Every structure is written in structure tokens, then in C-alpha cells.
Amino acid sequence: MKEYKQDPLLDMFRQSPDQFLSGEEISRKLSISRTAVWKQINKLRQAGYEFEALPRMGYRITETPMPLDEHMLAERLKSQKFGRKLHILSTTESTQEDARLLAEQGASEGTVVLAEEQRSGRGRMGKTFYSPFGKGIFMSIILRPEQPVHLVQQLTLLCGVAVQKAIEKTTGLKAGIKWPNDVLIGSKKVSGILLESKAEDDAVRYCIAGLGISVNIPEEGFPDELKPIATSLKVAGGRSVDRNELIVSTLHELEYLYELYKEQGFQIIADMWEASSVTLNRRVAVHTPRGITEGTASGLHSSGALLIRRDDGEWMPVFSGEIRVVPLDKE
């Protein structure tokens, strides 16, 4: 775990809680240049600390990160399988790849990999998931479902329902699900889900469910290209969220729905998904390798595909592709 207990600059702030320290004062006491002060401040920012900076006053810590806590998670988790084997990393390329390697080595179902930061967090269709240190939940879970590979899409929707329910229960915020793998607050994405599977003879050997949730990223903390389309729970709710609590809630929801799915099948999951969908009964544009098709999202196929009623009245199941909800004023 990345910590700064012996950091002289952090010690200065701890000795003067809620007070501003000028760059000049820091420079003098630590015998470093003003440029070095700025670099050290940014180093702490990357570790999850937040600062208020004012001209002629200096810097003041406004938020101290709460690290992922293995002991706290173990105490709070009441699940039978999910999270009972935890791997918590400080920094990694991708928790998906870490979990895949564990699955290949025979790791049991419910094994969880968590990271404070991902350098190359994976998203759908080759995209990346923004994963700054200490500001989100970047988690991969090993699943070993006994089912054919063409039904894996159902598990993506199941994971979306689990994340949506956990967010609402933990924060009180209203969240919706956009097919197939995004959880939104308002019109902005707060969570993404990636399900990757390994199969033999059309049967699933294992799946890796990757869940990314933007938890405590400040509004100014998003890259410019994400600011119009992404948000965090902190921005949406106006307060920081305990990541450990949300992890526990997510794993509880995921295990409950997974067992329900195995016992009762996909329809009960589909009903929950449809009740929280922001895609259904909306006009959508479907981007596939064959081009763009518009129509109305009207339901789920038994496989988990999205059913689109095209303008010519024909039904089209969408198994993969990018879905864009057409704004209401253009429907």
C-alpha cells in the first residue's frame, strides 16, 4: 500500500491541521526549491490527498485518503464466497489480468482482486477506465458458472444490477443502468463493467467480472475528455463515500443475485435490470461494424441482448456494439 507516513511535507501539514502553509515556508523548512514543493504537493495529490491552494496563502489539506483495508473488509463481509479470498494491490496494470492469472492457476470462485490504482484499466471495445490512486473501486471477481458461453452476456447485466443496487443502498443516490454495462447518475457514467470469459467446447471455464466505480474523484480530477460524460459518487452526492463500505455492499449484492440467477434463471435478473434501465423505451442509435441503426429499445432477449424495434417495424437483437441514447428533444 502506498503510504506517506515518513513524508516530511505531510508531517508539516499534520502538525498544522486545517491551516494554510505557504510555499515559501515549506521551501524554507524543508530546504527545497519552490518547484520541488509543487512537485511534492502533486505527489501527494496522486496518492489521494486533496488540497486547497490560494494565492499568498499557500496550501491546505482538505481531504485525507482512506485506504482499502483488508481487515475491515474481512470483518464486514458476510458473504459465503465473494471476497473471502482477497488480493489488494497498491498499483497494477489491470485487475482483470491479475484475476485472469489467478483463475488459470485454479483460484476459487469468488476470489477478488482490488487495486488502489490501475495504469491500464480495461473497458469494453478496447477503451480504458480512468483509475486514479485511492479515488475509486477497481475490482475483478472470478466466476465459474456452469453454462454455455453464449449466455455470458446475462452475467454482465447481473453485475450492472448489483452495482446499481449497492450504490443506491450505500449513498442514497438514484442510479440507472445503460445497456449493456454502464451505471449512470443522471446522464453521466459513474461505473463500468467488463466481463471476460475463457471457454472450452462452448462451455465456460471461468469469467472475470471487472467492476470500476468512480467514487471520490473530484470534478476537476477527471481528464478533460471525460468531464462531459463522467461523474463520481462524491460529485453527485456532495460528500466523500467510504470505499470499503461500498465494496462490501457490492459483493453482498453480487453474491445474492448470482445465487438467485443460478437457482431461478435469467428472467428474475432481467426484470430487475429492466426496472432500473435508462435505455428501455428510448430511441437509441446502435453503432456496430455494419453501420448505425436507429430504433426504440424495447426489451431484453433471453440471451441478454438488447431488442431494438427499428423504424421499419422489424425487430433486431443487439448482442454487441455501442448504444447511444438519443436526447429526448430529438426523439
Tell whether 223 is covered by a domain: yes
pLDDT of 3 reads 40
Residue 105 and residue 31 share a domain: no
Give residue 193's pLDDT band: very low, low, confident or very high (50, 70, 90).
very high
Residue 303 and residue 182 share a domain: no
* β-pairing verdict for 86-92 and 112-118: parallel
Residue 40 and residue 82 share a domain: no
DSSP labels, 229-263 = TB--HHHHHSS---HHHHHHHHHHHHHHHHHHHHH
List all residues 6 or more positions away from 74 whose beta carbon is below 8 Å from its beta carbon: 86
The label of the residue with cell 466466476 reads 143
Tell whether 323 is covered by a domain: yes
Q: Is 290 annotated as ligand-binding?
A: no
Q: How far apart are CA 300 and CA 307, in angstroms?
A: 5
Q: Is 147 annotated as ligand-binding?
A: no
How many other C-beta atoms lie within 10 A of the C-beta of residue 296?
16
Q: Which own/partner contact pairs does 197-200 have at CB distance under 8 Å and 24+ positions apart?
A: 197/149, 197/152, 198/100, 198/103, 199/149
Residue 127 and residue 241 share a domain: yes
User: How long is the chain?
Assistant: 331
Q: Is 124 annotated as ligand-binding?
A: yes
Tell whether 1 is covered by a domain: no
Q: Is 122 annotated as ligand-binding?
A: yes
Tell whether 302 is covered by a domain: yes
State residue 79 phi and psi, 5-degree precision: -70, 160
- Which of these three, 244, 259, 276, is where a domain ends? 276
* pLDDT tens track for 4-37: 345 788 888 888 888 999 999 999 999 999 899 9
| CATH number of the domain that residue 323 is part of | 2.30.30.100
- Which of these three, 43, 63, 83, is where a domain ends? 63
Tell whether 3 is covered by a domain: no
The label of the residue with cell 452475467 reads 155
- Which of these three, 240, 255, 276, is where a domain ends? 276
Q: How far apart are CA 149 and CA 217, in angstroms?
A: 36
Asked if the model's pLDDT at residue 140 lies above 50, the reply is yes
CA-based R_g, the chain, Å: 22
Residue 201 and residue 122 share a domain: yes
Host domain of residue 173: 70-276
Residue 326 and residue 187 share a domain: no
Tell whether 2 is covered by a domain: no
| CATH number of the domain that residue 133 is part of | 3.30.930.10
Asked if the model's pLDDT at residue 126 lies above 70, the reply is no
Contact 279, 196 (CB under 8 A): no
* pLDDT tens track for 52-78: 899 989 999 888 878 898 989 999 999
Tell whether 238 is covered by a domain: yes
229: helix, strand or coil: coil
* β-pairing verdict for 176-178 and 86-92: unpaired
pLDDT of 107 reads 97
Residue 224 and residue 113 share a domain: yes
Angle at which helices 152-171 and 243-264 cross, to 10°: 140
Average pLDDT, the chain: 90
Angle at which helices 34-46 and 23-30 cross, to 10°: 100
Asked if the model's pLDDT at residue 49 lies above 70, the reply is yes
State residue 16 phi and psi, 5-degree precision: -130, 65
Residue 17 and residue 59 share a domain: yes
Q: How far apart are CA 297 and CA 273, in angstroms?
A: 13
Residue 183 and residue 48 share a domain: no
Residue 126 and residue 37 share a domain: no
* pLDDT tens track for 255-293: 999 999 999 999 999 999 999 999 999 999 888 777 888
Residue 135 and residue 116 share a domain: yes
| CATH number of the domain that residue 35 is part of | 1.10.10.10
Q: How far apart are CA 230 and CA 223, in angstroms?
A: 10
List all residues 6 or more positions away from 238 whose beta carbon is below 8 Å from its beta carbon: none
Contact 19, 60 (CB under 8 A): yes
Tell whether 25 is covered by a domain: yes
How many domains does the structure of the chain reveal? Answer: 3
Query: What does the block give as the cell for 90?
Result: 497498491
Contact 97, 110 (CB under 8 A): no
Q: What is the pTM of this model?
A: 0.86
Residue 216 and residue 82 share a domain: yes
